[in-house]
Amino acid sequence: MNLLIRCAIAALLMGSSTCAAASAASPPSEVVWNVETDQKLIALTFDDGPNPVYTPQILDILNQYQAKATFFVLGKRVQHFPEIAIREVNEGHEIANHTFDHHFLKHMSPEKLKEEIRQTQEVIFDITEQIPRVFRPPGGFYNDALLDLAREDHFTVVMWSWYQDTKDWKKPGVKKIVETVLNNVHNGDIILFHDLEGDCSQTVEALKIILPRLKEQGYRFVTVSDLMRLTKN
């Protein structure tokens, strides 16, 4: 699916500003939405954590089903809950940059954007000794300034498969989260969940249904970076 088609759909789901930025910015290869592959691989992603109550529960479920995931963390929450970030890394998951304080990049100057992302990189490295290689912009908004920085600092901007936005942060109900994932699943999907501050119990309960169902269908759960690497031509 080309970028213009994706943007038209994304505009309906996320608002026209995201689409405008995406369509004007750059070739689709600079932003990853999903990965085309004939392998039954899926990337589970979690935004806005760590959450001191629910992220450990998510990690327990992932471990139960031998699933690896990518956690797009906020720098300030990594500072508050360093032991969880360290656990994510120690258990083989990918830790990724989601800004320091969930600021929307469209409101930032290029200089402030660079400061925000690099500050978060430093926080994550200081605590986990890992340098994130992927970045997801809050709200899905990106522009030329972000893509220029991605080239300069050698990271990849990663979004999510537009049909795999569970909107779990809205607490739509476990059934709705499960149906969003299972009814739309494709090879190479990047699925969007959240382990944000507050109540993530619906996400936890949904994962208890989603992971065994997908595993029964032969899917393997890998990090975003592994998804891109394993399917690279």
Catalytic positions: 47, 194
The H or E element spanning position 174 is: helix 174-182
How open is the CA angle 4-6-8, to the nearest 5 degrees?
A: 70
Burial class, 113, CB count within 10 angstroms (exposed 0-12 / middle 13-18 / buried 19+): buried
C-alpha span between 23 and 126 (Å, rounded): 36
Cis-peptide, bond into residue 132, ω within 30° of zero: no
In 3D space, the residue among 44, 49, 64, 22 whose CA is nearest the CA of residue 160 turns out to be 44
